[in-house]
Amino acid sequence: MSELSHVDHEGRARMVDVSAKADTARIAVAAGELHTTAEVVRLVRADGMPKADVLTTARLAGINGAKKTSELIPLCHQLALSSVNVSFDFTETTITIEAVAKTKGPTGVEMEALTAVAVAGLTLHDMIKAVDPAASLHAVRLLTKDGGKHGHWVRERELAETSRDSAVRHATDHGAHGQHSHVVDSGTAGAPHLTPTPAYGTGKSAVVLVASTGAAAGSREDTTGPVLAKWLGEQGFSVRGPLVYADADISYGLSEALAAEPALVISTGGTGASPTDGTPEATLAVLDRELPGVAESIRQRGTAKFPLAALSRGVAGLAGRTVIVNLPGSPGGVKDGIAVLTPLLEHLLAQVAGGGSHE
């Protein structure tokens, strides 16, 4: 039977001595849910609450809470956090919260991710209590963690259930103000049916990122992200997203997508010549090496059928060991991207991981 790590042999609380442990990269993902009313959800998404900037305030509070975890939880070690990302999603009567915390050190970062979710949730409650004082925070829990002696851990059953339940909600319920909605599968009447994907954090992981000011604001429906999520699931990826951001916020979206160091990030939208199209520039800022042949093959395939596809400025490359590919924000552009990537992905990811045949 396992022993509690924070209790000594005499049953007294103690801080665990981690001085002999090796420094490793640590990542933890936590989540929680604020149960409220449909009216509150509508007001938050429309930025119509009496206290404005609800999501921005809650996100900053969650990040600050993660940084102060050792002050709030008596036996936690002080950690040098390298990254904390807090994001939100919506159902009809729920605001869901997800936090990703990263560090490099001798002990895990789970409590920081959990504290970020809890503090962000409490801040949401404070911001909405004038409209719904009965709102309640539920299910603050750890979803995944990586690093250290025990390596990878995932709350498999719950993530699988979340994947089934959250499916195409994004197609009709996009996040506002650059916040994301998770799409994996749905049986919702009238919505496109998506193949269930493995729970995020299991197997090879991928993130789908959508740059669309209209979709982020809820004024238009994105049809590209769900198609990519379905295809990646069929390729055996565990898929996070689509994460939907306004064009002006795509740099932040890329940062969030890369936080858990997935094998693959595919974006759609923001690749044209419009003054607001900034996806290629945001991508180039995080790339270590470009893969120009991939981007050019996608352009050439599109141009063969639709000459205006030549205007796409999408790029592809490597950020560390993550492959990033920009696709145009159109169904045809995504179809072309899938056609080009399908025969390349397995070999490409194997090479990036240090394997793959070079013959």
Strand 94-105 to 81-90 pairing: antiparallel
126 is catalytic: yes
Distance from first CA to last CA of the chain, Å, rounded?
51
CA 159 – CA 170 distance, rounded (Å): 17
Residue 324: phi and psi, rounded to 5, are -120, 130
Which residue is catalytic, options 126, 146, 173, 247?
Answer: 126
Report CA Rg, the chain: 21
Apex 346 CA angle, 345 and 352, nearest 5: 85
Strand 238-245 to 24-35 pairing: unpaired
CA 336 – CA 302 distance, rounded (Å): 6
For CA atoms 182, 184, 187, 190, the dihedral sign is positive
CB environment 320-356: b (16+ within 10 A), e (fewer): eebbbbbbbbbeebbbbbbebbeeebeebbeebeeee
Task: Tell me the one-letter amino acid at 273.
Answer: A
CB distance 238 to 273 below 8 Å = no
DSSP 255: H
Angular region, 343: left φ>0, alpha ψ -120 to 50, beta rest:
alpha
**Residue 129 contacts by C-beta under 8 Å, 6 or more apart in sequence?**
135
- Distance, CA of 17 to chain centre: 33
What is the set of active-site residues? Answer: 126
